Structure 1
Amino acid sequence: MSRHPDSHLDGHVDRHDELSALFRQHAARVHAYARRHVEPSQCDDVVSETFLVAWRRPDQVPDEPLPWLLVVARNVVANQRRTARRADEVWFAAVRQGWTSSAPSADEAVHERDSVLRALEQCTRAEREALLLTAWDGLSPTDGAAVAGCSVRAFTVRLHRARTRLRAAYAAEASPSSPLPAGEPARTPRLASATIAQEIS
């Protein structure tokens, strides 16, 4: 039996239809699973990567695909977490290594750095990036949004949240419950002063 000239495309078309049907039937459940394990902003990525695996390995998708899809989603989430932890480690190491300060003494520089890093730990990854793109790299919110790959509105919201967290952290450090040693002046770290002096209109 001779094959139709376009028969080599049939497998691709069938595969696309099958994946589309698989997605329509199970994407909501995979998304619900992802929502229990990652931030809302990451759920769509988990769903996309899960069905990408199904597209690449159609022979591994069983007749009852949902449990298999959830196992794939679990692995995607685990990979995201490993990547995120590594990204945090690299980020904080770079900040420590690249720290510059006009502090008059090494002790004060270390105090400033550690105080800022503790405050930054309270921020999300996106908030930290927004803060340093403006405070350290000197970018405007418009330019910072372009670098971060988000809208200017989203960037300014991140920046506002980061500044709020930073102010709260330094307010807590300066509280009477943690008095400075006698004769030691209160410090206002360079990054804090650069970021909390200006509010978003």
Structure 2
Amino acid sequence: MSKHESDAARFTAIFEQFGRRVYAYARRHSDPAIADDVTAETFLVAWRRLGDVPSDPLPWLLVVARNTLANHRRTVARHERLRQELAGLERLAAPSPAVDGTVLERSAMLRALAALTELEREAVLLVAWDGLSRSSAAQVAGCSERSFAVRLHRARKRLDRLSDSSESPDDLLTLLEEIS
């Protein structure tokens, strides 16, 4: 028997005896697809370094599997950091709205809120700005839920009329969606 044949026979015996145990170890530490890859990589290392594999190969194989898993986790972490950095750069590189457009939208939004009665404005702001539910907003406003619903309904109708005008800002449309 040649050296290559004896190496192949030894490797085959190691794989047949310990392949499932290496996979089980990898599976306990990862999902099935990654466990398959880790098992394959572990036995690739075993084949390449067959001369270094001790007579009791399981601990050695599990160390290789553990190191392979650690390498995989580091790769995933690097990719995630890179993805986050790229997302941050995209946000920084994204065109920002023109200052005059923002000022005009805010001005129109403030005019729309000023067109509401004080009670309607409070109702809109409690729901849209403070993020309260209608029930909680009614408590803050010191009225029944029914009264609050009427205030909010009237405010929405008034804002609807304002949004029908040609100068309705995007913020006003967003506000209408939030109080719906």
TM norm structure 1: 0.47
Establish whether residue 33 from structure 1 lines up as the match of residue 25 from structure 2.
yes
User: 1:105 offset after TM fit, Å?
Assistant: 6.3
The CA distance in 2 between the partners of 1:102 and 1:179, in whole Å, is 29
Matches for 1:31-70 after TM superposition, within 5 Å:
31-70=23-62
Aligned residue type for 1:40: P
| Structure 2 unaligned spans of 5+ | 100-126, 133-170, 176-180
User: 1:103 offset after TM fit, Å?
Assistant: 5.9
The CA distance in 2 between the partners of 1:103 and 1:82, in whole Å, is 35
RMSD over aligned Cα atoms: 3.1
Establish whether residue 104 from structure 1 lines up as the match of residue 97 from structure 2.
yes
Q: Please give the per-residue CA displacement for 1:18-65, whole angstroms capped at 9, x wherever unaligned.
A: 111111111100010001111221011100111111111112111111
SS of residue in 2 equivalent to 1:98: helix
SS of residue in 1 equivalent to 2:37: helix
Q: Please give the per-residue CA displacement for 1:107-163, whole angstroms capped at 9, x wherever unaligned.
A: xxxxxxxxxxxxxxxxxxxxxxxxxxxxxxxxxxxxxxxxxxxxxxxxxxxxxxxxx
User: 1:179 offset after TM fit, Å?
Assistant: 2.1
User: Which residue number in structure 2 is paired with residue 91 of structure 1?
Assistant: 83
User: 1:13 offset after TM fit, Å?
Assistant: 2.2
Matches for 1:1-201 after TM superposition, within 5 Å:
10-99=2-91, 101=94, 104=97, 179=131, 186=174
| Structure 1 unaligned spans of 5+ | 1-6, 107-174, 188-201
Aligned residue type for 1:69: L
TM norm structure 2: 0.52
User: 1:95 offset after TM fit, Å?
Assistant: 2.0
Structure number with higher helix proportion: 2
The CA distance in 2 between the partners of 1:103 and 1:17, in whole Å, is 66
User: 1:104 offset after TM fit, Å?
Assistant: 2.7
The CA distance in 2 between the partners of 1:32 and 1:105, in whole Å, is 58
Give the length in aligned residue pairs.
109
Aligned residue type for 1:179: G
Q: Taking every aligned residue pair, what percent have the same amino acid on both sides? A: 43
Name which one, 1 or 2, has greater alpha-carbon Rg. 2
User: Which residue number in structure 2 is paired with residue 123 of structure 1?
Assistant: none
CA pair 54-102 structure 1, distance change in 2 beyond 3 A: same
User: 1:11 offset after TM fit, Å?
Assistant: 1.7
Runs of 4+ aligned structure 1 residues displaced above 6 Å come to none
